[in-house]
Structures are given as C-alpha cells and as structure tokens.
Amino acid sequence: MPKADAPVSPRQRGPALESLRNQKMARSALDYVRGSPMQFYEWLEKGSAAIPQGPEVWICGDCHVGNLGPVANADGRFKVEIRDFDQTVIGNPAHDLIRLGLSLAAAAVVSDLPGLTIAEILEAMIAQYEAAFTAASDKPGHLEEPKTIRKVNQRAADASWTTLAAEDT
C-alpha cells in the first residue's frame, strides 16, 4: 500500500481508501461506528423482527454523530442537522435512529461518560424525535431546542473555519 502522502493511481485508490478507513476504525469504537455502515445494515437485517417498522421515507442511511452538525440559515441562526446525504435512501426511519443512537452511545463511551448519562442522551434523542412530530402537526418550526444543542450552536457560531476544520479531523 502506498504511503499516505504518496500519489495514488486511480487503480490503487479503492484499496488505499479502504486501508485508511480500516486504520481509522481501529482507533476507537466511535470511529468504527462511523466507518461501518455496511456491517451495521447486515446486523440490522439479522435482527429485523425486533425493529419497529416505520413508513418508508427518505432517511440519511448513514446517520451518526459525524454526519450531524450546525447549519446556518440566511439570518445567521443555527440548527443541528444532518450534513451528509451521500447514502440517502428510502427506508425505515428506525434505521437512522438506531444508527444515531449507537453512534451517540459510542461517542459517550469514548468520552468516559457514565452509563446513566448515556441513557439520558438516548432518551433525549427519542424524546426530540417524538416531539418533532407533535411540533410539525401543531406549529411547524417551533420545536424547543435542548440546552446542550443551544451550547453547541453557540460554540459553532463563535468558531472560525480553521477551528471547525481542526475538530473534524
């Protein structure tokens, strides 16, 4: 395999990228979750009887913490949204929730957060998902943001592009 800084021919690109992904995945549980959508969907297929069946809608297909982030509108207001749609498919929304929950739990474990905090994170994810349906039927766009999301948004608003790019590596 060529060195990371050496030019890679088009024929070598696939194996080189796969090797790089495998090296990143070996670093931590969170990186493994981010880099293993194929294994995730194989795992889901084996246990599909226990997964709630939602309506077939557009889903991210690779919904994990690394694909979420602050997105600004024209007024400079921020929301945390999905920022990566390269694996978007029509599917069961439960798949995105399970993958996001697994990713959130892995990020919390890597961060040495206690088990109770991990449970609270997952409960908040489900509560916000359910609340989005109520808000959508009552007042579109008026969903109350959790305090932690407001903090992330403010941190992103105050950050420079250099800071945000450094956090993404």
Q: Is residue 46 part of a domain?
A: no
What is the band of 24 on the pLDDT scale with cuts at 50, 70, 90? confident
Structurally, the chain folds into a number of domains equal to 1
Dihedral angle computed from the Cα positions of residues 46, 52, 55 and 58, in that order, rounded to the nearest 10 degrees: -60
- For residue 1, is it within any domain? no
- Identify whether the C-beta of residue 103 lies closer than 8 Å to the C-beta of residue 84: no
State both tokens at 119.
């449970």
Question: Which tens digit of pLDDT belongs to each residue from 100-126?
Answer: 998 898 888 888 888 899 999 999 989
Specify the higher pLDDT residue, 15 or 138: 15
Q: What are phi and psi of 15, to 5 degrees?
A: -60, -35
Q: Does residue 159 lie within any of the structural domains? A: yes
Please report which confidence band the pLDDT of residue 25 belongs to, taking 50, 70 and 90 as the band edges: low
pTM for this entry = 0.62
Please report which confidence band the pLDDT of residue 89 belongs to, taking 50, 70 and 90 as the band edges.
confident
Task: Give me the half-sphere count of Cα atoms (radius 13 Å) on the Cβ side of residue 104.
Answer: 19
